[in-house]
Each structure stands twice: as C-alpha cells, then as structure tokens.
Chains A and B, each alone.
Chain A
Amino acid sequence: MSNPVENREVAVRLSGVKKMYKLGQIGGGTLQKDLQSWWARVRGKEDPNSLIGSEQRLSGETFLALRGIDLTVYKGEALGIIGGNGAGKSTLLKLLCRVTAPSAGEIDIYGRISSMLEVGTGFHGEMTGRENIYLNGAILGMTKAEIDAKMEQIVEFSEVRDFIDTPVKRYSSGMYVKLAFAVAAHLDSEILIMDEVLAVGDMAFQQKCLDRMRDAATKEGRTVLYVSHNMNTIRQLCDRCVVLDKGQIIFEGDVEEGIEHYMGTKQTSSGVVELASLKRAPEFAGHAVTLEAIWSEELQNAVYPVGSKMKLRLSYTSSRAVASANLRMMVRSAEGNPITMCTTNEGFSVACGTRETVEIEIDTSRLVPGRYTLSTVIYEVNEMGHNSNLDGLKEIYNFEIVAVSGFNNNMEWTTRYWGNTFSEPMKLRKITAGPTR
C-alpha cells in the first residue's frame, strides 16, 4: 500500500488470525475424547487428539475457516469484504463482533464496535416497538440516556411512528425490519459492522439505509466494515475492499479492482466444460440424469458480440429413459443478479444408458456488454403435467458479451442505471404537419 495511508489512525488491526472449527456431531464420543485429551494433559503427555500437520484447510475433523488473516482498517474508512460462499467472510465478521474468539492470532479494536450481523437481535414479539427500541439499543451497547436522546430520530427514521406502542408481533415483516434497522443506524459507536442486512425492506428504504451508512463513514468519520454479495452496494458504500478466498485475503485495495479481481476468479469458459464431477446442490443429490459436459463448437473462448445468439452443445447420460425432458437455462450477471431465463418449448426424449448430445440455442441478443453465467436445470414433465427436476447445476458456463461499434451510440453502457438488457432502438418521427399539441 502507498505511504499516505500509513499515517492514518488505526481502527481495527488483525494479525495472523485463524479460526478453526470442529466438524461432526458433539455427543458421547466428544466427551470421551475431551476426557482423553484432558487426562493426557494432566499427565504431561502428548494430546492423542491433537492435530498433525495442520497445514491443510480441511484436516481430519477440523476445518480452518480462516487461515491467517492480516488486515488493518483505518479510521473513517468504509471497507467492503467480498468473496464466494465459504470464503470466510462471515467468520471474520463474527470474530470482529466478538461473538466467537479466534483460534490463533490477535485482534485489536480501537473504539466501540457495533454489529449488524442480523437486524432486530433480541426483538421480542410481545413487547411494543418502543420497548424493543430500548432493549435492542441496550444490547447493541447504548445506554438508556443515549436511547432517550435518539428516540425521536429513530422513530422518525423507522417510518412506523403510528405503531410504536403496538407489540411488534403485530407488525408486518417490512415494518419489523425498518424499526430494527432504525435502531442499528443510530448507534453512536465508532465502528459499524454489517453483513448483508441491507438485503431487506423495500427499495426506497434500502437506499435510505445505504445513504445513512455512507454518511456515517464520510461525514461522521466512522469506520464501516461491510460484507455483501451485491457488488453494486459495495460500489456505493465502500472506498476500499478486501477479497477473501478459501480463508485468505487474495486482494486488498481499490473497490473496482477488487470486484474485477473477484470476478476474475470466474474466467470465461473455454473448450469443453466437464460437468459430471461438479458438486450438486442437495436437491439434486440423487440425480437420475447426469449432465456430462457443455461446450461451444464455434468458439474456443466464450466471448460474444452484442446481439448474437449462443449455440451450445450439452451432453448427458441417464440411468433411466425419460419420455419428455425439458431444459431450463438461467442467465445471471457475474455479480449474481438474475437476468433472464429460457426453457425448451417441447420435451425431448432421453435414452437410458447411452451418452447423448443436444444442441441448444439461447437468445442472448438483448444482453448488454458484461459478464454472465449460465445455470441449468433438466426436468421431466410427466403425463399429468407435473414437473420434477432430473439434474441441475449452477454457474456452469461463464461468458462475456462485448460491445460492437455503434452499440448505444458508442457510449458505455451503465448497468447500474440501465439494467442488463437493452431494447430495440426507439422509433422517432418528426411531426411537422397534421395535428400537434
């Protein structure tokens, strides 16, 4: 990192932080092992259950969720933390919130810290909105005097003034969340930690929350640590970001670069993508059909100009014959937002035992330049018209749409404002004669 950063005041410092989890169930066996370990320690012998060669992330019955994190967060900074599922983001936040302790390493926190791993922690349905504000505020570390002073602001922000003396069990889920967030947003603490809590409430309220957090960081000089899967909120809120992968920091720095880096871990597909060995979601655990591979005959790399349709080949095997199978292809942006879906109109037959290949054409001609992923489900429609899934895989094919000259009058397309699809150019005709208004 560059030098000017070094002079700033430190808010949070982590050095060599590791977190280990024990896998498996706790039961009689655990008690026996605990006693064994304890007895060994008492006699000064080596613990028979200690780890040998704990270099691997997953070794035996333990799992290293974090493998040595070194990170310094400066005061007044809004730091975004991104990473795929299981990268260790939530574990990191849990350690910072002191919900659990690290297995190794040191954490120093300068200032009061308040966490929003979940909104409405400690809310109780039987108690009124006002009572819950007091309790929730106190749990988050405010004193009664502080809450009294902020009560008016909180009620105002929450937009539920009329119901403030009604038990919250009568609230709609939206009202509940708004009230809960209002409390959290008015905390006095110097460091705010948030885990995707903004994925709730209506759009207008979400924006309000983001603005509030932005203010906390820029105008009030507070430190914000924010974890999200939504790259757009990271862009809006954060001025620095950290990319986590498999329990380690793989990138630290500028937000756009960080997002690029994170996306970069998702290369565009090339050649034949093998699908058979990929891990299925639990719902597809006993899949009758196995999707084997997906590839393009025309392109080595999945990069398409705007306006093109994608032709792909998909092969599969099946353990039974299916009279009428159908395919569904979901298109998501690389950031994870669903864009569109297409499905086969007529069923096709699937033979038992032999490997078959189908060619599919997906209309991607309306997608704007950017990176996308394809997810697929193959499903059966029986004589009664019922659907049942045969196999499915997420993010099997990553492709990129690139702009062609003349697209959008050669202006760069801003997804944030205009979305991921474009429409036919507008028809315009000037009226000089005839009825005008």
Chain B
Amino acid sequence: MNQEETKLQRQPSQYHTHISAKKRLFSLNLGEVWRYRDLIILFTRRSFVLTYKQTVLGPAWIFLTPIITSLIYTFVFGGIAGISTDGVPTLLFYLASNAVWTFFASCVTQNAATFTANANVFGKVYFPRLTMPISNMLASVIQFFVQMILVAILLCYYSITGAVSPNWWGLFLLPLILLQLGILGLGVGIIISSLTTKYRDLAILVTFGVQLWMYATPIVYPLSQLSDGVMKTILMINPVTAPVEVFRWALLGEGTVLPVALALSALLTVVVALVGVMIFNRVEKTFMDTV
C-alpha cells in the first residue's frame, strides 16, 4: 500500500482533465491515444481472433479469401469479359489489385460502423474513441501484408520467368501509398460513422457505395484501358486511382503514373482527413445521446 501512496502523491497534477461544453475543432489529443496504445494492440488482436474463432480452417481463411476473390475476378473479368491487363499475368494482376483495394475498402467499411457497432462499450466507459478506428486500420494493414505474401510468391515466379518486370526501387513508395490510402479510408470511414450516429441511412448506403467506388477505380482493369471521356475524368478525380496505379507500376511494372493526379489525390486526402477530424471531434463527445 505504501508504494501505492507514494505513487499517488507523485502524480497529482499529471492527469488533469478539463471538460467543458465548448468544442474544439482540430484537436485529436494524440498523447492520450498513445497512452492507450496497449488497448489499440488488443483491439487489433481481437478483430483477428474473433473472425476465425469456431471456424474449421481458422487463420487459413486470411489466405483463402483473397485467392478465391482473385480467381473469380480472373474468371469473370479476365476470362469472360476478356479485359486486358497490360500483359501482366491475370491472376497476379487481380491478386495485387485486390490486396490494395481490400485494404482501402476495409478501412472505410469497418470504420463506418465504429460508433454504432460499439455503442454498448462507448456508452459505459471512456477511452479515446480514436483507438477504435486506428486499430481497425492496423488490422487492415496486417491483412494487406498477409495478402502481399501471396503476391510476392507469384511475383517471384513471374519475374524469374520474365513475365513481369517490377520497378524494384518503386517498392520503397509502398509505405507512402499505404499511409495515404489508410488515412483516406480512415477519413471517409470516420465521416460516415460520425454521421450514422444520427442518421442510420448512411450505414445502409455504404455497402453499395464501396462497391460502386471499386468500379470507379482501376481495380479489375488497368487505367490504360480507358479512352478519354467522362469515365476517365471521374477516375482521375477519384483519389484512390493514383495510388493504385503507382502501386501496380512499382509492383508489376505496368501503370499510369501522373504527377498531377498524384498531387490531386494527396490534396483530397488531406481535405478528407481534416474534415474527418473536425466531424469526429464534434460527434465524439456527445454521440452517446443520439446513437
């Protein structure tokens, strides 16, 4: 008990919380989030453990899901529709594209439900709300790297046979791409989830929205397949297009890298992130009254 007492006496002013009715626009209180880093790790771990509990194949599903999806894409878009992949082996093309899209999409969809799905926990105890979206993003990052193992195996095989020639140094851009897509997905997800606390309609729309967004992004086809037109303009405005193309350019050696598109995409990401933080701060404190 003595130890406890001295500890308490040493740190009386260390934790001072001030709560007032006023709302600040752009403060994330990242220091507090850092104090709860163990919680972030535990949440991340939980999302993996829970997905594969009581399944026969267990963690094997992490590999099986992208393989099955890519095989379907290969069959439907490559086989039946006959969409060109700019000379990249179709399975590799779809596996890589799918990995990067899944990362972005899961950032959006998982965070879109953050507030409503965890209302029972949020309503009973305080911890920095940001830990939830961050751990969701981390889980998506891990899932992405697991999928990249598959991509790497195929990539090794095809580079030995000479079917693809990656821009090896471009791979250093990978963390930047991930960061940008992560922040963008997080931003969009948080905006949606903040608005769903009051209006549940968005939660229903998000499923369609993400699906539509995928087709408006060069995932199942390369950007080079599109001729100039309305569709191409939409694609170029879409902030996900540029990072995806850079990703494929680095990894598969084929892709349209436009500095203007990259700059626009980066700018949009910053705007979305700022708006996300703003809305999040507005909603975070009182959403329990409306959710």
User: Interface of A with B (CB < 8 Å)?
Assistant: 9, 21-22, 26, 30-31, 75, 94-95, 97-115, 117-118, 121-122, 124, 126-127, 131, 134-135, 138-144, 188, 190, 219-222
Contact = CB atoms under 8 A, between A and B. Distances in A.
A113 to B, nearest CB: 7
A139 B286 CA distance: 19
A98 B42 contact: no
Q: Main secondary structure on chain B at its contact with chain A? A: mixed
A221 B8 contact: yes
A343 to B, nearest CB: 40
A108 B126 CA distance: 15
Contacts of B20: 102, 105-107
Nearest to A216: B4
B21 A100 contact: no
Task: Specify which of B18, B38, B43 lies most central, judged by the most chain A CB atoms within 10 Å of its CB.
Answer: B38
B17 A220 contact: no
B157 interface: no
Interface string B112-125: 00000000111111
Given A117-B125, A138-B36, A108 B18 contact: yes
Contact of A117 (B8, B19, B38, B124): B124
19 contacts: A21-B289, A22-B289, A22-B290, A99-B125, A100-B286, A107-B18, A107-B20, A109-B16, A111-B12, A113-B17, A115-B126, A122-B125, A138-B36, A138-B39, A139-B125, A139-B127, A141-B36, A144-B42, A188-B4
B13 interface: yes
B50 interface: yes
B38 A99 contact: no
A98 B286 contact: no
A31 B290 CA distance: 13
Contacts of A140: 125, 127
A275 B257 CA distance: 80
Interface residues of B, number: 40
Contacts of A127: 46, 49-50
A219 B49 CA distance: 40
Nearest to A141: B127
B21 A101 contact: yes
Contacts of B43: 135
A103 B42 CA distance: 33
Contact of B50 (A26, A115, A126): A126
Given A9-B12, A113-B126, A142-B38, 8 more contacts: A98-B19, A99-B126, A100-B289, A114-B125, A117-B124, A118-B124, A121-B121, A140-B127
Interface of B: 1, 4-5, 8, 12-13, 15-21, 35-36, 38-39, 41-43, 46, 49-50, 53-54, 120-127, 198-199, 285-286, 288-290
| Interface pairs A-B: 6 shortest CB-CB | A101-B285, A98-B126, A138-B39, A107-B19, A109-B17, A144-B38
A126 B19 contact: no
Nearest to B9: A221
Contacts of B38: 138, 142-144
B17 A98 contact: yes
A42 B127 CA distance: 34
B15 A26 contact: no
A108 B120 CA distance: 26
A91 B122 CA distance: 15
Contact of B125 (A30, A97, A110): A97
Nearest to A167: B53
B199 A31 contact: yes
A124 B12 contact: no
A26 B290 contact: yes
Contacts of A188: 4
A121 B53 contact: no
B25 to A, nearest CB: 15
